[in-house]
């Protein structure tokens, strides 16, 4: 398998991972915007949701950084192949 193909496969995997993370972020943000949830749920449950949101935000940043690094490598590899 060519290195460009491997990079493309990794990009696709990372895109899927980012999509999954974004879905989770949206669900957690929606839950925290729900005033009934925030006021009626036990404080420990609300804190768990906040902690999970922070964890997913860190994971998103790490995955996005990796995605853009791989994307840059794929662009460079394509340019090298052309020459």
Is the predicted pLDDT of residue 80 greater than 90, yes or no? no
Alpha carbon distance 74, 28 (integer Å): 33
Is the predicted pLDDT of residue 77 greater than 90, yes or no? no
Q: Which token pair is 76?
A: 């460079």
The confidence score (pLDDT) of residue 57 equals 98
What is the tens place of the pLDDT at every residue in 1-57? 578 889 999 999 999 999 999 999 999 999 999 999 999 999 999 999 999 999 999
Domain that holds residue 47: 3-82
User: Which residue blocks in the chain are alpha helix, DSSP H?
Assistant: 3-33, 35-40, 43-82
Is the predicted pLDDT of residue 61 greater than 90, yes or no? yes
CA distances from 71 to 4, 33, 60, 65 (A): 10, 34, 16, 10
Is the predicted pLDDT of residue 71 greater than 90, yes or no? yes
Q: Which token pair is 33?
A: 């915007």
The confidence score (pLDDT) of residue 1 equals 59
Total domains in the fold of the chain: 1
């Amino acid at each position: 398998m060519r290195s460009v193909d491997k990079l493309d496969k990794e990009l696709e995997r990372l895109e899927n991972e980012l999509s999954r993370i974004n879905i989770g972020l949206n669900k957690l943000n929606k839950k925290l915007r729900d005033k009934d949830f925030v006021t009626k749920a036990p404080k420990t449950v609300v804190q768990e949701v906040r902690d999970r949101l922070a964890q997913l935000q860190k994971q998103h940043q790490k995955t996005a950084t990796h995605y853009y690094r791989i994307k840059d490598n794929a662009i460079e590899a394509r340019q090298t192949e052309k020459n």
